Amino acid sequence: MSSGGRQLGQVEPRERVGAQTGRKYEYQYERTARAALDLLADGSKHVCVYCDWHDDYVVELSQPPTRYIFHQVKGRKSSQGPWKFAEFFGVQMKKASKPAKNAPAVTTDAIVPLMLLHHQNFGESCAGLAFITNSGLDPRLANFLEAVRNAPDVAHLPDEMRIAFEHLASGYTAMTPPLSSSEAELFTWLRGLAAHTDQGQLEDQDAALLELADVVENYSEIDLLQRQAKQIAREIISQVRRKVAHSTTVVPTSEEQLRRDKGLVITEILSVLSLSVQAYEQLKAGEGRDTVKTLSRLQRFCRKHGMIDDLVHICGFKALWDTWRTTERHFVSSVDYTLLEKRARELLTTDLKLEKAVAEAKDIANQFSNVAASPLTPEHVMGLIFSLAAQAEPTSYA
């Protein structure tokens, strides 16, 4: 068995399939998108979601040393019923108390055998395993997992569950190479396995999108129409699909490079949500949704200037600007920043139209493109313009 911990970029995945089509794959991408949205709520705990790298998705924990939770996503048609013990573990559930003469054969492409490889590959860096499904678990399987979670060791399992576990362990330890080196090790690993059932929708794609749209709307600092929230949800799923499709990562690779290739971080989610970095920080600080919404006065500005149909894209520009400013402010001289902001403010003294804003943003970006380490783009300038516009709006109606 491996000792110590290894990082995701140090181990070659067992396969690199790339983005696939079909409803089961879309379900996988949707659950990954949902996990990426959870970064907004758990940003202090979870810092990155890796897409289709060693598992369907992997959540990186922020507490040092670097640790990961590996997530296996399996969609299942309702006609197939709940997951059975043998489908889950690759071994039939033993009920007779008399020990079997031979260790049971293990179906190695079952769910748990494949997931246990993460403990072998990553050692202490594997913080846990999670199984995600739209279906449920057979009662015997659910009862077994609950008994393992609640017992401090094998000896404290109820008799029926202990017999099933010992039979399972004999199969896993007898393999070549073994899936686990001992009963005690396997028991510890299974205690760290979480099963999340009834997650999302496999057979109703519109319902699946609506679930994500509801989460998007909940995090937005503006009021969104349902069609707008659904479009943002689609864009986040597309982000996942692009990360899944990336297949040129060379192992070993650095943590930073792997995040760029296969990971989704908070700033990437904010770039498509109508949520500014400032509002996100307020959410982390525990502010309520109504308070967060007062941070953005863009809605009123856009309504007054006939841009309400473009509000979602404008909020995206604002989020891009907030991210660029946070990252690059140390590289921009005070003189350059003052001139940049002055050019943007001058636009707001006129009857600003979207077409004029786009044209001016391109000109300003060209003028100030090299003031920081990362180029200033027209999208960043658009974000600056509308950020200043929001600041100029009153906090509430008079």
Can you tell me the mean pLDDT for 357-369?
Answer: 93
195-253 pLDDT per residue, tens? 999 999 999 999 999 999 998 888 776 667 788 889 889 989 999 999 999 999 999 99
The DSSP-derived string for 161-202 is HHHHHHHHHHHHHTSSS-S-S-HHHHHHHHHTEEEE-S-S-S
The percent of residues in the chain predicted with pLDDT above 90, rounded, is 58
**What's the pLDDT tens digit per position in 112-159?**
999 999 999 999 999 999 999 999 999 999 999 999 999 999 999 999
pLDDT of residue 207: 95
> pLDDT, tens digit, for every residue of 66-84?
899 999 999 999 999 999 9
Q: Which residues pair with 57 in a beta bridge?
A: 51, 71
Q: Is 217 exposed, middle or buried (0-12, 13-18, 19+ CB in 10 A)?
A: buried
Judge whether residue 46 has pLDDT over 90: no
Determine the Cα–Cα distance for residues 352 and 310; give it in Å rounded to an integer: 14
SS (H, E, C) 67-125: EEEEEEEECCCHHHCCECHHHHHCCCCCCCCCCCCCCCCCCCCCHHHHHHHHHHHHECC
Residue 166 neighbours by CB under 8 Å, 6+ apart? 99, 154, 183
The more confidently predicted of residues 148 and 281 is 148
By DSSP bridging, strand 126-133 and strand 193-196 are: parallel
The amino acid occupying position 363 is: D
CA terminus-to-terminus distance, the chain: 68
Q: Which of 86-100, 181-195, 269-283, 352-366 comes out lowest in average pLDDT? A: 269-283
The pLDDT value given to residue 3: 44
Q: CA 62 to CA 134: how far, in whole Å?
A: 28
Supply the mean pLDDT for the chain.
Answer: 87
CB-count exposure of residue 338 (10 Å: 0-12, 13-18, 19+): exposed
Higher pLDDT, 183 or 217: 183
230 sits in which H/E element: helix 226-245
pLDDT at 170: 97
Q: Mapping DSSP to helix (H, G, I), strand (E, B) and coil, where does residue 205 land?
A: helix
Domain ranges of the chain: 297-398
pLDDT at 26: 95
Question: What does the pLDDT look like over 289-334, one tens digit per residue?
Answer: 554 443 456 777 888 888 888 877 887 788 788 778 877 877 888 8
More confident residue, 265 or 330: 265
What is the pLDDT at residue 268?
84
Q: Which of 106, 120, 118, 88 is nearest to 174 (CA)?
A: 106
What whole-number distance in Å separates Cα of residue 242 and Cα of residue 309? Answer: 27
The residue with greater pLDDT, 203 or 287, is 203
